[in-house]
Amino acid sequence: MNIKITTCILLAVIAIQTQAEVPEDTITVTASRLELPITATLNDVIVIDAQEIETSSALSLFELLQSKSGIDWVRKGGPGQEISMFVRGSGTNQLLVLMDGLEIGSATLGYKALSDINLAQVERIEIVKGPRAAIWGSKAIGGVMQIFSRDERAVRLAVGLGSFNERRVNVATGFELKSLSGSISIDSFSSDGIDARLDGDTDKDGIERDNLNLMTKYRPSSEQEIILRYSASEGVTEYDSAFGDDELLIDNNILSLNYLVNQADNTYQLQFGRQSDSSVTRDDGMALFTFETISESIKYLFDTKRSESWKIGTSLEYLNEDVGNSSTTYNDDERTTVSGHIYNHYQTDNWVNELALRYTDVDGLESNTSIHAGIGFRPSKNNLLSLNYGEGFKVPTFNDLYFPFGGNPDLKYELSENLELIYKQWFDSGSLSVSIYDNDITNLIQFTPDEDGVFTANNVGTANLHGADVTAQWQVGGLNHKISAQYVDAKDTVNNQNLQLRAKTQLGYQMTGDISPDMNYQLSVRHIGKRPDFDYQTFAPINLNAFTQLDLNFGYQLLPGLDIRLAIKDLLDEEGQYVSGYRAAGRTLRLTIHYQGD
């Protein structure tokens, strides 16, 4: 194992020595679709709450998640530009992204544009690393990320200014009247950006986004809840391509209606969802391409508590995807997916067991059955050692199957098999988590030339992703410390080459403390190892240089409920390069004034 990872583990173990009671449990639902304490889950789970989001001063997932082990990010330029997320070396299109239980993203591209997610309206983020297809379905090869929207109860106002003429305004409020409650949040963000590419146009590539989030909750009785959510995001992103100065217009809408019944031992949930994901590419004001996905879904979930030790969760799901409003004409522009799963969770004082099975039937493709099995041993209530086996699959996109140039209707699912060993330990003032994994992916869809030189999608790729993640947190002398480290060996096993843009090693340290009762700070140091890529001019294989970044974040309470934060990203102006041919933002400053009512 890489020496940096080994050093990190030793430092964590030395720094955390005093064992005591397990801290109050954080509840997670994404790991199993059941409400379980994070200390009872066998998987490697990251939970980020609204307080951590605000303390970080992050406006994008790229900024927020850079310090999390097992997750690697690259961005093609400055604020708002395209970002990719590699969970344990897997691709962005192998990550399932959910918003309040609904899958979001494009059915033509096969992934969610992560730069479109607005953190100002996020209450919590849960990330489960490793395949979870047996629980959630397609795309969950690398992991699952679920985003929970905020439920406001008081007036909240945030105003921010920053580098590159960054401007942000967020206004939110809510109400509660006996059995009826609701909230509204409006957020507007813009930035002039930077010149993203090293060649081509030299203009700045900016971004504008307007976001709306609405929620209404009605409780007919103590056991019943009806929740209506609506979110909308629209705006424009400027970017440079090899063909000139381009703009991408986005218009995304998510509507969901949930009916929940919570009884003593049983929970019933019926969810109706509709998502519209639209993007229009323009050049000099002229629309070139339009891609739109309209997804409609119905889900029925039933959870039952058979005893204090035994829980079962089941679901039946229907999904219809329609891309007929796209400018491209597909041979088939609509498909339906029917699926269901059952999950079993059983635990005693010393043992935790889970077993899940999912059946999926997609129009035009063979059916798929995925399983997940895990067993955990708890020597004491402070320790958990688990061994997990999980399968993942990914349904081919409409572009893969039916695009007029290169589509192949005979494609099969991408498949994966993952084995992981995880150790978790909790202390009076911290925790330690170590994960070792091996993930084999087959049937990868790649565009290869036929005998006539025409590139067509085929299931010809294979890959192996193996490595280790380490996270340690502790408190000493009134300071909160966190070490995160990862080692990823992600290879194309056909040609034995490292997968593009995956950094093999990363190491991070974060310290949070108080300067005075009214002032706090956060210091973050992040080292990113060499990253394989192709030279943007010669197309020859290269390794992008390793680099280290330092971030500082200061917060000061002016009055009760009124705070001001100053964030300095990349303080030393390292300008580490993430993608060949693209600039990094370098040193940036952000000043935010935040008011939270009672």
Q: Is the pLDDT of residue 373 over 60?
A: yes
**Quick one: pLDDT at residue 266?**
96
Do 458 and 450 touch, CB atoms closer than 8 A?
Answer: no
Residue 337 DSSP SS3: strand
* Residue 74 to residue 88: CA distance in whole angstroms: 14
pLDDT digits (tens, 9 = 90+) for 240-288: 775 555 899 999 999 999 999 999 899 999 999 999 999 998 887 777 8
Averaged confidence pLDDT in the chain: 92
State the Rg of the chain over Cα.
23
Q: Give the list of residues 6+ apart from residue 452 with CB closer than 8 angstroms, or none.
A: none
* Residue 141 to residue 318: CA distance in whole angstroms: 21
**Quick one: pLDDT at residue 15?**
42
* Residue 570 to residue 553: CA distance in whole angstroms: 11
**Quick one: pLDDT at residue 12?**
44
What's 120's DSSP letter?
G
CA angle 121, 229, 291 (to 5 degrees): 80
What are the φ/ψ torsions at residue 428 (nearest 5 degrees)? -65, -25
Closest to 295 in 3D by CA, of 337, 327, 330, 257: 337
pLDDT digits (tens, 9 = 90+) for 324-347: 999 999 999 999 999 999 999 999
Task: Tell me the pLDDT band of 9, cut-offs 50, 70 and 90.
Answer: very low
Closest to 77 in 3D by CA, of 582, 573, 537: 582
Report the sign of the C-alpha dihedral through residues 64, 69, 71, 73, in that order. positive
Task: Tell me the pLDDT band of 4, cut-offs 50, 70 and 90.
Answer: very low
pLDDT digits (tens, 9 = 90+) for 46-85: 999 999 999 899 999 999 998 899 999 999 999 999 999 9
How many CB atoms sit inside 10 A of residue 421's CB? 14
Closest to 255 in 3D by CA, of 225, 228, 217, 291: 228
**Quick one: pLDDT at residue 8?**
46
What are the φ/ψ torsions at residue 80 (nearest 5 degrees)? 85, -10
pLDDT digits (tens, 9 = 90+) for 207-220: 999 999 999 999 99
pLDDT digits (tens, 9 = 90+) for 457-502: 999 999 999 999 999 999 998 899 999 999 999 999 999 999 999 9
How many angstroms separate the Cα of 541 from the Cα of each of 88, 506, 583? 22, 21, 19
Question: Could you identify the residue written with the tokens 């494609």?
Answer: 411
Average pLDDT over residues 199-206: 83
DSSP-assigned letters across all residues of 472-528: EEEEETTEEEEEEEEEEEEEETTTTEEPTT--SEEEEEEEEEEEETTEEEEEEEEEE
Question: Could you identify the residue written with the tokens 């303080």?
Answer: 571
Question: Could you identify the residue written with the tokens 């988590």?
Answer: 433
**Quick one: pLDDT at residue 24?**
54
Strand pairing report for 562-569 and 588-596: antiparallel
pLDDT digits (tens, 9 = 90+) for 90-105: 999 999 999 999 999 9
Average pLDDT over residues 344-353: 96
* Residue 437 to residue 385: CA distance in whole angstroms: 14
Do 160 and 104 touch, CB atoms closer than 8 A?
Answer: no
* Residue 275 to residue 254: CA distance in whole angstroms: 5
The full set of domains in the chain, from first to last, is 3-596 (2.40.170.20)
Closest to 138 in 3D by CA, of 354, 365, 293, 300: 365
Q: Is the pLDDT of residue 322 over 80?
A: yes
User: Virtual CA dihedral for 55, 57, 62, 64, nearest 10 degrees?
Assistant: 0
Residue 409 DSSP SS3: coil
Which has more pLDDT, 451 or 139? 139
Q: Is the pLDDT of residue 429 over 50?
A: yes
Q: What is the pTM of this model?
A: 0.94
The amino acid present at 502, given as its one-letter code, is R
CA angle 209, 139, 419 (to 5 degrees): 130
Q: Is the pLDDT of residue 14 over 50?
A: no
Task: Tell me the pLDDT band of 239, cut-offs 50, 70 and 90.
Answer: confident
Q: Is the pLDDT of residue 221 over 80?
A: yes
